[in-house]
Structure 1
Amino acid sequence: MASVQARTVYRCVRDGSVSLATAPEPGSHCVAKHIDDDAVKLPNLWGALGVVSGSLYERQQDGRTVYSTRNLPGSTPVLAFTVATPPGEPAHAGLGNVGRPQVDRYAAQFRAAARRHGVDDAWLRAIAHTESGFDAKALSPKGAQGVMQLMPETARSYGVTDAYSPVQSIDAGARHLHALLRRYRGDLTLAAAAYNAGVGAVARFGGVPPYRETQDYIAKVQALHASYRLALARVASAKGRAAP
């Protein structure tokens, strides 16, 4: 019997956007996915992003021809594509479904906190969605509390007096994420890793810790970030059309 051949596709994330490539992309966080050539159904590597449209690009990297759905320097477009990804597709066994964006949950509070502390509104909501599902009364087995699931000592450091107040939790969460982004020079992946596992773990491993929980957490945040960016853009567009 002939041996089964496999292809390797890299799922790469940069600034909350997902691309697929035949080689790791410079400047992106890439994870290799191995696909058997005789697979009956190709896996969805995009995540729950709705309808994804774009182009496949060709470029030279390390002396060979590679392909990517991200337009990197030196790329030439070779093919346009549209892919419909299943809504609410399970992200990872330990984290349940990604779920659809919930743009109406504490919308004013997220907008205000994001603007006040200089963080991306969509990313802030993606963190909250992953952490608590927007449950203001959420309490984790480790003691994290509220919408943003802040540990008590972290909440106190930001002046939180009521950990279950959505206004205080969201504002403190935005401040904490802003501080992490400053620490990691704007790297969303490292900031999310530190939010989940702590800055000590990120320092100890020199990057994303090799914890399955943290790696699954980052992937879910990234998928939700992309979903919230699209959802908030649609909301803004609808408001623009409704304006006199």
Structure 2
Amino acid sequence: MHVRLALAGLLCLLPLGGAQARTVYECLRDNRLSLSTAPEPGSRCKPKRVNDRKAKVPNFWGDQGPVRGNVYAKNLNGVTVYSTRRMPGWKEVAEPYRLHAPRDSWAHEGLGELGTPRLDVFAAQFIAAAKKTGVEEAWLRAIAHAESDFNPRALSPKGAQGVMQLMPALSRAYGVTDPYSSAQSIDCAARHIRELMRLYKGDLALVAAAYNAGTGAVARYGGVPPYAETEDYVEKVQALYARYRSALKKPVPRNI
């Protein structure tokens, strides 16, 4: 109920473009999506028509999907513009709202937390998978750390299994017979990540987002989907990747 009230409140903030419909802008910058009442400076934005009656249902943004964040405002050229992106000089004007990925999404939050890199767990499996697929060992370890904290028996509320938290459909697609086998789990994840690396031309933010939420969600939003758990997950994995590269005595990329 509080979600519906928050979204209805947001509707009151947004200027109406007609009796039943108006235009909002879907804006992309640094692989992050936001919604705004006018094109955001520095972002690539495209207009979307929104039915005002969508405020009566939880998914206010219609086919644009759920959004996580606060609402910020700034006067631009004499007009107050509202956005879900936090930018310098913009003032927060509404209570935060936080929606999760839809039920049919692959997105799962992961069970691991940031912490000291662990190089002692499943060392042979990670080295073998990295050598076989060409996927960097530090990246594989970062995913395992974020997903399960290296627990081979981990099971998420959404059904993700094992060290690499494989969803059942992914396990089937790669011929995994035992998702709780650390060797099979790590090998499957490495093969899958190799395909994601090819698909996204090495863009690690998109690779992490697709691993978490699926390639369909990334394609739909043209970047990291605006799901709370996916955004948090991407940041977590990138931070862990830097730590594992450092622990493995590899130069840490400047963009991490």
Per the normalisation by structure 1, the TM-score is 0.57
Structure 2 residue corresponding to 1:108, chosen from 124, 127, 135: 124
Mark the runs of 5 or more structure 2 residues left unpaired by the alignment. 1-29, 32-41, 43-84, 90-109, 251-256
Separation in 1 of the partners of 2:244 and 2:170? 26
Structure 2 residue corresponding to 1:144, chosen from 156, 160, 167: 160
Equivalence map 1:90-169=2 (5 Å): 97-169=113-185
Question: Do residues 216 (structure 1) and 244 (structure 2) align?
Answer: no
Question: Do residues 188 (structure 1) and 232 (structure 2) align?
Answer: no
Does the CA contact (< 8 Å) of 1:95 and 1:217 recur in 2? Answer: no
Structure 1 pair 169/202, CA: closer, same or farther in 2 (3 Å)? Answer: same
Separation in 2 of the partners of 1:176 and 1:213? 20
Separation in 2 of the partners of 1:172 and 1:33? 39
The letter of the residue matching 2:131 is R
1:96: how far off? 7.4
SS at match of 2:118: coil
Separation in 2 of the partners of 1:159 and 1:224? 28
Does the CA contact (< 8 Å) of 2:111 and 2:149 recur in 1? Answer: no
Question: Do residues 228 (structure 1) and 208 (structure 2) align?
Answer: no
Separation in 2 of the partners of 1:103 and 1:218? 21
The letter of the residue matching 2:140 is L
Structure 1 pair 112/96, CA: closer, same or farther in 2 (3 Å)? Answer: closer
Structure 1 pair 168/95, CA: closer, same or farther in 2 (3 Å)? Answer: closer
1:124-183 CA distance string (max 9 Å, x none): 100110001100000111111000001111111111111100000000000010011111
Percent same amino acid among aligned pairs? Answer: 64
1:97: how far off? 4.0
Does the CA contact (< 8 Å) of 1:184 and 1:191 recur in 2? Answer: yes
Aligned residue for 1:241?
none
Per the normalisation by structure 2, the TM-score is 0.55
Q: How many residues align?
A: 152
1:186: how far off? 1.0
Does the CA contact (< 8 Å) of 1:95 and 1:216 recur in 2? Answer: no
Mark the runs of 5 or more structure 1 residues left unpaired by the alignment. 1-11, 14-23, 25-30, 36-93, 235-244
The letter of the residue matching 2:144 is A
SS at match of 1:162: coil
Separation in 1 of the partners of 2:120 and 2:146? 16
Question: Do residues 202 (structure 1) and 188 (structure 2) align?
Answer: no
1:34: how far off? 5.7
